[in-house]
Amino acid sequence: MGYIEKNIKDIREDFPILSRPGFIYLDSAATSQKPFVVLEKMDWVYKNLNANVHRGIYKIAEDITEEYERSRKEISGFINASESEIVFTRNTTESINLAAYMLLQKLKRGDRIVTTLLEHHSNFLPWKKIAKIAGLNLELVKVTSEALIDEEDFEKKIENAKVVAFTHVSNVAGTIVDVKRLARKAKERGAFVLIDGAQATPHMKVDVSNLAVDFYVFSGHKMLGPTGIGVLYGKKDLLEELEPPFTGGEMVKEVHKDGQSWNDVPWKFEPGTPNYVGSIGLAEAVRYIKKIGIDQIETYEKKLSEYLLENVGNIKGLRYAGPKNNRAALLAFEIKGVHPHDVAAYLDMKGIAVRSGWHCAQPLQEELGFSNGTTRASLYFYNTFSEIDKLRTALEELVNIV
């Protein structure tokens, strides 16, 4: 037994919401629950250290600034980047939008952007938007029936592409993409490469120094942190070269009537008062994950994922999205003759929280033939095998009713 299996009871007690009687939370791909340490840290900061960062010269203003920048260091270390490469945003969606507007200055009419059919809407719509603004061509790489990236099509489309953006882990199909290999291929063709890591950083070791990427983006709230804090990792040289798309306070050194000089990276991309308490909360979440061990999390979730597939994936009349192996610990499925919302409503009655609908990936689900969307159970390291058993029992009951 690994560390998590041995300590699962104590781990669950770290999360206040998990003590709700009869509550089974299987919606961590939407957002994760938060441990006491994160909540207490943020509470403590607001009660004891609250002042605007990078401004006052009084004691707590300096202390909070130091704490804020320490959080950047903690988070940069988690993905093996340097502090100046971590731009704080609100979430993954904002990170991708920001990257798209940053890259806009490098693109000209007729240039090609490539993304894939595997994406969350947030790694599709921002590119569509800038394509429209600048007259760029956007192309989508096909996926196979198992929701793997069609590599032949990928090779063809990345030829002469200026931007290549794709996900690390699919939020619907659970596909784990070989980003190391595919990013290198795109980089070798000279494209700017962005990886959507929203469903990866909470669950597996990510080392950006080992990836041929220009941008890597993720959200805090899916990895035990608070809502409203996200990260845009960008290669330092590129960040230094690019102009900030958004301007205002905090991101500037000097402003005169006839000119100004931008702040250094990463601050020049963070206009306005930042969500410093969110950053500090996220850093505390990272410390908690490190204490459990990201490798332990990955190993344990692999077992959960296999157990989920073996016990829920084979229910009569159930069809799931995605590959048969090497998947994230989530399962999006449809049950013949039952609308996904009805499945979710039935599970809710049993105290089981799942998501139903399009999961912000309508093109993918339509491509895979889920015309009404799916119901999705998504797990994190605080979930247990017995919760999967309860999910199976409830689904079998439902199949018998309808």
Are 147 and 321 a contacting pair, CB within 8 Å?
A: yes
Q: Which residue lies nearer to other proteins by CB, 84 or 362?
A: 362
Q: Is residue 69 a contact point for other proteins (CB under 8 A)?
A: no
Least Å from the CB of residue 248 to other proteins = 32
Helix (H, G, I), strand (E, B) or coil at 196: strand
As measured in angstroms, the least distance from the Cβ of 366 to other proteins is 11
Q: Which positions are annotated as active-site residues?
A: 360
Angle at which helices 294-311 and 385-401 pack, to 10 degrees? 30
- CB-CB contact of 278 with 64 (8 Å): no
Show the binding pattern over residues 334-363: x = contacts other proteins (CB under 8 A), - = does not: -----xxxx--xx-xx------xxx-----
Residues in contact with other proteins, total (CB under 8 A)? Answer: 14
Q: Which is nearer to other proteins, 129 or 339 (CB)?
A: 339
Q: Is residue 17 within the footprint of other proteins (CB under 8 A)?
A: no
Q: Least distance to other proteins from the beta carbon of 247, Å? A: 33
Residue 57 binds to other proteins (criterion: CB under 8 A):
no
**How crowded is the C-beta side of 363, counted as CA atoms within 13 Å?**
16
Report in angstroms how near the CB of residue 362 gets to other proteins at its nearest.
Answer: 9
Token digits of residue 402? 């309808």
Judged by beta carbon, residue 271 or residue 317, the one nearer other proteins is 317
Q: Could you tell me the CA-to-CA distances from 279 to 42, 230, 234 in Å, in that order?
A: 9, 8, 17
Task: Decide the pairing of beta strands 374-378 and 330-335.
Answer: antiparallel
Q: Exposed, middle or buried: residue 236 (CB in 10 Å: 0-12, 13-18, 19+)? A: middle
Residues in 84-103 that interact with other proteins by CB under 8 A: none
C-alpha span between 334 and 319 (Å, rounded): 5
Nearer to other proteins, 130 or 343 (CB): 343
Residues at the interface with other proteins (CB under 8 A): 339-342, 345-346, 348-349, 356-358, 372-373, 401
